Amino acid sequence: MEAAVGNQATLAWSRMETQFPAELASTMAGTSAASRITRIDPNRRSLSVLPQIETDVSGQVRLVHDPRDRYRSLGVVGEGGMGVVERAEDVDIGRPVAIKRLLPEASHPLGVARFVGEVRIVGALEHPNVVPIHDVGLDAEGRYFFVMKYVEGQTLGEVIDKLRRGDPETHLQWPFERRAEIVISVLRALAYAHERGIVHRDIKPDNIMIGRFGEVWLMDWGIAKKMDEPDPGVPTERGEDRTAGLIGTPAYMSPEQVRCEPLDARSDLYSVAVVLHEFIGLNHYLHHRTDNLAVLLDAIENEHPVLRGPGAYDSPHQGPPPIELQIVAARGLAKDPAHRYQSAAEMLAGVRGYLEGRGEVRCMYSFTKRAMRESGRVIDRYPRLGVAMYFGLIVLALVGLAALFKLLLG
């Protein structure tokens, strides 16, 4: 995605003070700038509890109790509108962890409410494709933080960038089958979350992490919410300013998310379809519209680009993606939620159908591929029938050739 899009795309709670000045003013009335930050007694901060173990020259073991901050920061690895993410060491257990701290400028009541919401939502999602939370606490300055598993690897956005540049090794490592498996992992996480009434609302390549050993995590649940609960401070209808109240990354939003309408699971599935289209085709489905935010938002709502077949995918570094995956992406990108997949499980079955040779039939090409694979299964099950069919085709070919020669020789 172009730099201009990156600068415009992520609209989150860093814009709270400009979008909702009245709400913030009412919640902070009568407070000084310093006291606007939610502070707790630093004596309640998270301290280590396990003793240090020392052994003297005689072999005697001594326990040294030296309470200190349990988490030692090793540097910042990322920053968003609400918080900063650091790599750290858990000095009690001796393992690397990631810590997300609430920024001082986001420590007003609305910011804290969203931070607490993220902690509780992620804490409730015990799933292999969701990074687990280990702990919550307060630092020496009284700021909230939570501790999660430290993930080593690369984002899907980084993988797509390498594929887009035509890196030979990356293309070798990422055949379409493996790309489909990544999308299946994301859909598994969403199926689990949706079953619990939670929508992610910010699915994009940069929020999908791929570990060193192929693990897949759907990251950054900072703007996730319960489907049946209102979003504090966010308008339920779009005003004259189309960007006011947008929560998420516009390039990956569904039409209903752009319109600030109530969202259900199908909005997340639209975002997954955007990611799938980009992952297999190496271009955003609206790549010709992404350098202007207003134009992009209008295109998401109203434009119907070619999503499968000739003209839909034109990367110079790879051939056309499998038609089965093109069909899944096209259905997921339907403007009307009623025409999309209705659940993550249904979309997952569509992607898995490609891997199992049972893809959805929507055109002559997909019908031909499906028919050939099904005939192969029949031959595997009934080998003698396969041999008979093989010789039958040879006989038919010979008869056809004989008839042709007879016709030509008059």
**Residue ranges of the chain whose pLDDT lies below 70:** 1-45, 232-244, 308-311, 359-380, 382, 385-386, 410
Residue 100 labelled as part of a binding site: yes
Cα–Cα distance list, 352 to 183, 271, 283, 328, 365 (Å): 10, 18, 23, 10, 18
What is the signed CA dihedral for 278, 279, 283, 285, rounded to 10 degrees? -20
Nearest alpha carbon to residue 274 among 262, 260, 259, 289: 289
257 within 8 A of 236, measured Cβ to Cβ: no
308 within 8 A of 323, measured Cβ to Cβ: yes
Per-residue tokens: 294: 């207003």
Q: Is 244 helix (H, G, I), strand (E, B) or coil?
A: coil
Question: Which residues make Cβ contacts (< 8 Å) with residue 78, sequence separation at least 6?
Answer: 84, 85
Instruction: Kindly name the residue from 139, 202, 206, 268 that is annotated as catalytic.
Output: 202
Active site includes 202?
yes
- DSSP secondary structure code for residue 209 in this structure: E
Q: What is the rounded distance in angstroms from the CA atom of residue 324 to the CA atom of residue 356? A: 11
Determine the pLDDT at residue 207: 96
The helix or strand, by DSSP H or E, that contains position 184, with its residue range, turns out to be helix 176-195
Determine the pLDDT at residue 58: 82
Q: What is the rounded distance in angstroms from the CA atom of residue 309 to the CA atom of residue 324? A: 11
102 within 8 A of 115, measured Cβ to Cβ: yes
160 within 8 A of 279, measured Cβ to Cβ: yes
Q: What is the rounded distance in angstroms from the CA atom of residue 45 to the CA atom of residue 61? A: 29
Determine the pLDDT at residue 5: 41
Per-residue tokens: 365: 């090409």
Q: What is the rounded distance in angstroms from the CA atom of residue 321 to the CA atom of residue 121? A: 36
Residues belonging to the chain: 410
What is the distance, to the nearest Å, from the Cα of residue 353 to the centroid of all Cα atoms in its chain? 21
